[in-house]
Structure 1
Amino acid sequence: MSANKILIVEDEAVVSLDISRRLEKMGYEVMGRLASGEEAIELIQQERPDLVLMDINLQGEMDGIETATKLYKDHNLPVIYLTAYAGQSTLERAKESKPYGYILKPFKERELHAAIEIAISRHETE
């Protein structure tokens, strides 16, 4: 069985690298680390991940919620938000994008691993 491919969309390079290392340690394949929603959409035209970990604050014109909404509608990709933003208005906007999870930073590896496994299993079932 091949490792699940995960795309990281995170505007902070140090945070992105840390997440990447943690995912690889858990046995996942990191197919990319991108800083903007536009880059994510462009990459997904060429290669499809099994899951996207998405920050809400991104570089570029689109924020993470707009990007996640487009990825779900156009490509039926599961997205887990991995963000420091927990305000009620942000959470309400995020819910509309039909995410498969919402994890607040800083996170524990066990929580991230469990959320990824559940999201991938749910997506495969649906």
Structure 2
Amino acid sequence: MSAAKILVVEDELIVATTIANKLSRIGYIVTAKVTSGSQAIAKAIETKPDLILMDIFLKGEIDGITAAAQIRQQLNIPVIYLTAYADHNTLERAKLTKPLAYIIKPFNEIELQVAIELALYQNKLERSLIAVFGILPMGSEGFLTVVIVLITMTHKPAG
């Protein structure tokens, strides 16, 4: 399996470089490091990464949540938020974009790798469901419903 391509969106260059170095050490390919929401959208269109690590509060007019929403709508690229903020309002706004994870800074390399692997796996499952059934489950409830239906279809009662 080829290494996943990841776009890093972080307005503090030293933090972005640290994250990119961690990703490279783990074995991922960093497609780019950008510092604003508008750059994130442009680079996502240009490089088509498998996943985006997105800071929420960015420089410029477009914050990470708005950028993630536009990217998800246009390109359906999954997002993991990396943020120092866990307040209720920010979390509620972020949830509307259906992120695959929300990691609070500071985080370690293992936490980052686990979140990335789970996000990539969930995205692969969603893409498989679209390819096979032409559906995309919405949120964890929809995903659970599809899993239950698939289990029911594949397991026949004994007897």
Contact 2:45/2:75 (CA < 8 Å) preserved in 1?
Answer: no
Q: Determine if the alignment matches structure 1 residue 67 to structure 2 residue 70.
A: no
Question: Which structure has the highest helix share of the two?
Answer: 2
What number of residue pairs does the alignment pair up?
126
CA shift for structure 1 position 3: 1.0
Q: Determine if the alignment matches structure 1 residue 104 to structure 2 residue 104.
A: yes
Distance 1:26 1:96 in 2: 30
Kindly name which structure, 1 or 2, has the bigger radius of gyration based on alpha carbons.
Answer: 2
| Consecutive unaligned residues in structure 2, runs of 5 or more | 127-159
TM-score (normalizing by structure 1) = 0.97
Tell me the equivalent position of 1:55. Answer: 55
Structure with the bigger RCO (C-alpha within 8 Å, sep 6+) is 1
Contact 2:23/2:29 (CA < 8 Å) preserved in 1?
Answer: yes
Tell me the equivalent position of 2:139. Answer: none
Tell me the equivalent position of 1:115. Answer: 115
CA shift for structure 1 position 44: 2.0
Q: Percent identity?
A: 52
Contact 2:82/2:105 (CA < 8 Å) preserved in 1?
Answer: yes
| Consecutive unaligned residues in structure 1, runs of 5 or more | none
CA shift for structure 1 position 14: 0.5
TM-score (normalizing by structure 2) = 0.77
Tell me the equivalent position of 1:45. Answer: 45
Tell me the equivalent position of 1:22. Answer: 22
Write out per-residue CA displacement over residues 14-54 of structure 1, whole angstroms, 9 at most, x where no aligned residue: 10000000000000000000001101111222220000000
